[in-house]
Amino acid sequence: EAGVAQSPRYKIIEKRQSVAFWCNPISGHATLYWYQQILGQGPKLLIQFQNNGVVDDSQLPKDRFSAERLKGVDSTLKIQPAKLEDSAVYLCASSLDRSGAGYEQYFGPGTRLTVT
């Protein structure tokens, strides 16, 4: 079974530029998550999708971050304009459904963003 795919793996941009990350979840997984992991910290949830809809985006800095999940499969996360403090690893995860063991989340390899 293929895992969660993310691209690009690395990205270096200057502050005030824009950047987009792509995620393809495990086939059949209804729930998709984006997390931000700053060096030395645990990941922090940015946004959760259930199929096409947003379930939780309370920690998403909406003035600069946006995310969408078209057709309930792939998702993109965008930052515009980027700030130095956005330097982090952006992780995408997916889970099968929202009951019992279906809650188990599987993570992709992440995109390491460096803002200079």
Partner 1 sequence: KQEVTQIPAALSVPEGENLVLNCSFTDSAIYNLQWFRQDPGKGLTSLLLIQSSQREQTSGRLNASLDKSSGRSTLYIAASQPGDSATYLCAVTSGGGADGLTFGKGTHLIIQP
Binding site for partner 1 (CB under 8 A): 4, 31, 33, 35, 40-45, 48, 55-56, 58, 91, 93, 95, 98, 100-101, 103-110, 112
Nearest-angstrom CA–CA distance, 21 and 10: 10
Q: Which is nearer to partner 1, 12 or 16 (CB)?
A: 12
Q: Indicate the burial class of 103 (C-beta count within 10 angstroms; 0-12, 13-18, 19 or more).
A: exposed
Comparison of 85 and 104: residue with beta carbon closer to partner 1: 104
Query: Cis bond leading into 43, ω under 30°?
Result: no
Cβ proximity to partner 1: between 14 and 56 the closer is: 56
Task: Report in angstroms how near the CB of residue 86 gets to partner 1 at its nearest.
Answer: 19
Return d(Cα 94, Cα 38) in angstroms, integer.
20
- In the bound complex, what is the minimum distance in angstroms from residue 32's beta carbon to partner 1? 11
| Measured distance CA(91)–CA(55) in Å, rounded | 18
- Rounded Cα–Cα distance for residues 50 and 94 (Å): 10
Query: Taking the complex as a whole, how short is the minimal distance between the CB of residue 88 and partner 1, in angstroms?
Result: 13
Residue 109 three-state SS: coil
Residue 17 vs 76, nearer CB to partner 1: 76
Q: How far is the CB of 85 from partner 1 (least distance, A)?
A: 18
